[in-house]
Amino acid sequence: MRHIEGASRDQSLLLPPSIDEYVSEDHPVRVIDAFVDSLDVAELGFSKALPRQTGRRPYHPGDLLKLFIYAYLNQTRSTRRLEKECHRNLEVIWLMKQLKPDFKTIADFRKDNGHAIKRVCRQFVVFCKEAGLVSGDLVAVDGSKFKAAASKDQALTRRQLREQVEQLDRRITTYLEHLSEVESSDEPEFEHEQVTKALDYLRHHQHELREQLNELEAEGRSQHCRTEPQARLMRSGREGTVVGYNAQNAVDEQHQLIIHHELTQHGADNQLLAPMSHASQQVLGQSLKTIVADTGYSNGQHIDDTQERGVEVAVPAKRSVNNKDSGQLFQKHEFTYRPEDDTYQCPAGKTLHYKTYSSKDRAYLYTRQGCHRCPLQHRCTRSDQRWVSRHFEEHAFERSNLQATPTMMRRRQAVVEPPFGTLKRLLNQGRFSVWGLSAARAEYSLAVLSYNLIRVINVLGVRTLLAKLA
């Protein structure tokens, strides 16, 4: 039987291959090398970019950055494994030019250069814009919850802390009663010592919980994670609640490139539209035309602020339902606003005048009296007067809601949701391997940079991309 056979390990080669022959001319690892070489790592703020004249020589930040980009492209995040790859992986040996840093050096680079890595992401987006890969005609914004390295069992809310303190109170009382019984009986002394030790432990644990509770109340926080204090309990769709961070992406429609990203501690998205749109505009300039997001981003102040900067907003308005106890009563949209005299006209043709405003709800309030004499009162209100509110930024809501057509929402979904699927695959189903917000931001930035590289390589091809980077 004939088989393909390998070369003999004892065979001598007259001309051994060079390191450059380890990877082909169109291998993606060459893109990583060319892109990082085009960066000014000192200007981007990487530590040790300008080494000292004395002491041990450090590794160049560019070399370690290449290693991490390669690692996240290939879903290898363990620094100990990366250390091994530097010894055995031909692609890594080529990329690192036979450098073999230890795992601690590799881990410290990621920990110390989070802000610089994010600047690299922006630099790559600028390159994509100059290459014509980003249009800015439509940018979709969305968020997704990524799990922290900490376990969910380590997160406690204020209510849970109070319950645990109360439970310890009851257990301490039980032990004190038992201790009293032991002292008044003829039981052996060793049991008395065991009860005393258990009581000391419970009191110490109760003191720790009370300190945590007092700290939360002093800082106005509602939750605490013992092992990763910066992580937050957040609602996450099918998974219920997770301990983690809220990742935000702004994705350009043309080639689904992520033009801006953030990793936040916000449990909801309603305070993030303006920061994300403003940062996207800083990257794209005047070429940014439309921002689209789902109902979770509905915020009158943020929508109005974005529109005033010349960007069209398409966000469905999130309205509270009047008269929740009865679906038969008239809703707000059935009242007609008359801007010429700042009044509302009810379905019965009566006029509701401006009465007052609510700073908390950011709304003007309109009303009329005498509703008990109206023949349509049974369909409008159960009191003598009906109130209708108008948001301070109602005009911004209406304009944004008008743009948020079903077709626009389908485009949003097709643009912004697939990148999150890829990012969660690159990050072990959406779980960070590092501890703390700063380190998690660095890891997320590396994943975003890797995702954008994958997209551009798929669009242009390696050889074309190398030519543009040259």
- The b/e string for 315-351 (b: 16+ C-beta within 10 A; e otherwise) is bbbeeeebeeeeeebbeeeebeeeeeeebbebeeeee
Neighbouring-strand partners of residue 224: 156
Q: Give residue-wise pLDDT tens across range 207-219.
A: 777 777 777 677 6
Whole-number mean pLDDT of the chain? 86
pLDDT (mean) for 8-36 = 84
| pLDDT range class, residue 141, cuts 50, 70, 90 | very high
What is the rounded average pLDDT of the residues 415-425? 94
For 47-64, b where at least 16 C-beta lie within 10 A, e where not — what string? Answer: ebbeeeeeeeeebbbbbb
- Using one digit for the tens of pLDDT, what is the confidence trace for 257-282? 999 999 999 988 989 999 999 999 99
**pLDDT value at 161 more than 80:** no
Whether residue 371 is predicted with pLDDT greater than 60 in this model: the reply is yes
Q: Which range among 26-40, 125-139, 343-357 shows the weakest confidence by mean pLDDT?
A: 343-357
Distance (Å, whole) CA 138 – CA 413: 12
Phi, psi of 313 (to 5 degrees): -120, 135
Q: Which pLDDT score, from 0 to 100, does residue 190 have?
A: 46
Per-residue confidence (pLDDT) for residue 183, from 0 to 100 = 63
Q: Does the domain formed by 138-149+233-316+404-436 have CATH 3.40.1180.10? A: no
For residue 145, give both structure tokens: 């919850």
Cβ contact 138:289 at 8 Å? yes
* The pLDDT of residue 65: 95
269 against 163, higher pLDDT = 269
Band (193; pLDDT cuts 50, 70, 90): low
DSSP letter at 342? T
Q: In the chain, what are the domain boundaries?
A: 19-112, 138-149+233-316+404-436, 153-225, 332-391
Q: Is the confidence at residue 187, as pLDDT, over 60?
A: no
Which of 149-153, 186-190, 384-388 is predicted with the least confidence, judged by mean pLDDT?
186-190
Where does the pLDDT of residue 14 fall: very low under 50, low under 70, confident under 90, or very high at 90 and above? low
**What value does the mean pLDDT take over residues 382-390?**
85
Digit-coded pLDDT (tens) for 35-62:
999 999 999 999 988 888 888 889 999 9
In the predicted structure, residue 236 carries a pLDDT above the cut 90: no
- Percent of the chain past pLDDT 70, that is, above it, reads 91
Give the tens place of pLDDT for each residue, 313-361. Answer: 999 987 665 555 555 788 887 888 888 888 898 888 888 888 888 888 8
pTM of the model: 0.83
How do beta strands 241-252 and 232-235 pair? antiparallel
Is 133 in contact with 259 (CB distance < 8 Å)?
no
The pLDDT of residue 18: 81
Tell me the per-residue pLDDT of 57-93, one tens digit each, with 9 for 90 and over: 899 999 999 999 999 999 888 999 999 999 999 999 9
Q: What percent of the chain has pLDDT over 90?
A: 47
Task: Say which amino acid occupies 442.
Answer: A
